[in-house]
């Protein structure tokens, strides 16, 4: 390495150093939002009406996306503890309404995390829960995802940036559209209701 390159790397490390935890948390939050949006899309495609005739088995992809989302969310929350500006405690990043920083949006994100964790890991207990009960419970994952989306748009450092909004639109709009289609009354039920 040349002296000039070493100087640039050293200057970059000095600049990024105090903000490393914050940058890592932001990056993990963005990754979690993208992964969770894609996971919601895959989940809705698996159980929805769009791929009814030839429904591919997407369970492995859905499970991998869900677990990767949870891992990114853990990194998102825990790296904040090292942030030198906020100085949050473990309680601040894990307990709703404890943090004094943008309390509503922070709490919404914490609630979304715990809901995603419980609902995501409930997959492994569906034998004990009962498959039908588990499926009804699992529908609330979409609500947890919506809470996470609102958290990122309400509190996220990059929420007003064009690149962030475009990226979120690319992954969230398809999920929202699939969610809308999923919860539309079926045409048969609509016809029955109209006949009554």
Q: pLDDT tens for residues 161-182?
A: 999 999 999 999 999 999 988 8
Separation of alpha carbons 180 and 87, rounded Å? 40
Burial state string for 108-118 with b = 16 or more CB within 10 A and e = fewer than 16: bbbbbbebbee
As a dihedral over the C-alpha atoms of residue 179, residue 184, residue 187, residue 188, rounded to 10 degrees, the angle is 110
162: which residues sit within 8 A by CB, 6+ positions away?
A: none
What local confidence, expressed as pLDDT, does residue 196 receive? 47
pLDDT at 186: 61
pLDDT at residue 6 in the model: 59
Could you give phi then psi for residue 168, rounded to 5 degrees? -65, -40
Q: Which of 49, 67, 72 is nearest to 148 (CA)?
A: 72
- Backbone phi, psi, residue 173, to 5°: -60, -45
Tell me what pLDDT residue 105 has. Answer: 92
Task: Return per-residue pLDDT of the chain as tens, 196 residues.
Answer: 555 565 654 454 455 566 899 999 999 999 999 999 999 999 988 876 666 666 678 889 999 999 999 999 999 999 999 888 888 999 999 999 998 878 899 999 999 999 999 999 999 999 999 999 999 999 999 999 999 999 999 987 888 899 999 999 999 999 999 998 887 776 444 444 544 4
User: What are all long-range contacts of 129-136, with beta carbons under 8 Å and residues at least 24 apart?
Assistant: 135/47
| 182 and 141 Cβ atoms separated by less than 8 Å | no
- If you ran DSSP here, which 8-state letter would residue 186 be given? P
Show Cβ contacts of residue 58 under 8 Å, excluding neighbours closer than 6 positions: 42, 45, 46
Look up residue 7 and give its two tokens: 């100087």
Tell me, yes or no, if the pTM score tops 0.85.
no
Using an 8 Å Cβ cutoff, are 26 and 86 in contact? no
């Amino acid at each position: 390495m040349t002296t000039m390159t070493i100087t640039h790397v050293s200057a970059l490390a000095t600049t990024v150093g105090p903000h490393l935890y914050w940058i890592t948390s932001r990056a993990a939050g963005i990754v979690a939002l993208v992964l969770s949006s894609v996971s919601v899309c895959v989940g809705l495609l698996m159980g929805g009406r769009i791929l009814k005739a030839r429904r591919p088995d997407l369970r492995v992809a859905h499970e991998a996306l869900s677990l990767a989302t949870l891992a990114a969310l853990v990194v998102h929350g825990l790296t904040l503890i090292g942030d030198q500006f906020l100085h949050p405690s473990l309680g601040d990043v894990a307990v709703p309404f404890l943090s004094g920083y943008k309390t509503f949006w922070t709490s919404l994100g914490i609630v979304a995390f715990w809901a995603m964790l419980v609902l995501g890991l409930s997959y492994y207990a569906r034998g004990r829960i009962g498959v039908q009960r588990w499926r009804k419970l699992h529908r609330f994952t979409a609500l947890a995802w919506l809470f996470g989306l609102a958290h990122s748009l309400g509190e996220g450092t990059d929420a007003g940036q064009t690149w962030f909004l475009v990226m979120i639109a690319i992954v969230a709009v398809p999920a929202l559209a699939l969610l809308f289609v999923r919860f539309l009354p079926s045409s048969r039920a609509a016809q029955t209701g109209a006949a009554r």
